[in-house]
Amino acid sequence: MSSLSGNVLLEPRYRPFWLLGVVVLGIVIYAVYWFGRLGEFKATMEAMTNGNGPVSVAAEDVSYGGFPYRLSATFKNVTVTRHGLDYTLTVKAEELAIERQPWKRALHLGFFRNPTLTLTAPTVLDGVRLEGAGTEGRFSLFLRGGGVERLSAVLDDARIEGAPWLQTPLTAAKLELHGREVAALRGRQAQPLPQPQPGTEDAEGPGVDPTPPVFLEVLVNGAQVRWGQGEPLTLMASFGVTGEPKAADVTTSFVEAWREAAGTVEVYSFNLTTVADKSDMVIARATFALDEQNRLLAGGTITTPCPAMIAGLFGQQLEDMPSVRVQGLIALPFQAQNGEFTLQQPQTEWPSPARNRDAGCPDLRR
| Sequence letter at residue 193 | L
Backbone region of residue 97 per phi and psi (left: phi > 0; alpha: psi in -120 to 50; beta: other values) = beta
State the pLDDT confidence band at 131, using cuts at 50, 70 and 90: very high
Alpha-carbon Rg for the chain, nearest whole angstrom, is 28
3-state helix, strand, coil in the chain (%, to 5): 20, 45, 35
C-alpha to C-alpha distance for 224 and 226, rounded to whole angstroms: 6
pLDDT surpasses 90 at 49 = no
pTM: 0.81
For 1, 24, 236, the CA distances from 14, given in Å and listed in that order, are 18, 16, 64
Give pLDDT, residue 145: 65
C-alpha to C-alpha distance for 249 and 84, rounded to whole angstroms: 7
Name which of 122-131, 196-205, 234-243, 338-347 the model is least confident about: 196-205
Q: Closest Cα partner for 90 from 65, 112, 68?
A: 112
Task: For domain 53-343, say whether CATH 2.60.450.10 is its number.
Answer: yes
pLDDT surpasses 70 at 337 = yes
Contact indicator for 147, 215 with CB cutoff of 8 Å: no
Mean pLDDT score of the chain, rounded to an integer?
A: 83
Q: Which of 137-141, 145-149, 253-257, 282-286 has the highest mean pLDDT?
A: 282-286
pLDDT surpasses 70 at 173 = yes
For the chain, domain boundaries: 53-343
Dihedrals phi, psi of 126, to nearest 5 degrees: 60, 25
Contact indicator for 112, 138 with CB cutoff of 8 Å: yes
Q: Closest Cα partner for 328 from 360, 354, 356?
A: 354
Q: Name the more confident of 144 and 178.
A: 178
Give pLDDT, residue 82: 85
Q: Can you tell me the mean pLDDT for 245-252?
A: 63
State the pLDDT confidence band at 140, using cuts at 50, 70 and 90: very high
Helices (H), ranges, 241-298: 254-260
Q: Work out whether strand 128-133 and strand 166-181 pair parallel, antiparallel, or are unpaired.
A: unpaired
Give pLDDT, residue 60: 92
Q: Name the more confident of 171 and 254.
A: 171
Give pLDDT, residue 251: 63
DSSP 8-state secondary structure symbol assigned to residue 355: P
C-alpha to C-alpha distance for 148 and 220, rounded to whole angstroms: 17
DSSP bridge partners of 49: none
Q: Closest Cα partner for 206 from 198, 215, 196, 214?
A: 196
pLDDT surpasses 80 at 203 = no
C-alpha to C-alpha distance for 194 and 103, rounded to whole angstroms: 43
pLDDT surpasses 60 at 225 = yes
Q: Can you tell me the mean pLDDT for 237-247?
A: 84
State the pLDDT confidence band at 234, using cuts at 50, 70 and 90: very high
Give pLDDT, residue 152: 93
Span 60-114, pLDDT tens digits: 999 999 988 899 999 999 999 988 788 899 999 999 999 999 988 888 899 999 9
C-alpha to C-alpha distance for 79 and 116, rounded to whole angstroms: 10
Q: Which of 34-48, 194-208, 282-296, 343-357 has the highest mean pLDDT?
A: 282-296
C-alpha to C-alpha distance for 79 and 94, rounded to whole angstroms: 9
pLDDT surpasses 90 at 283 = yes
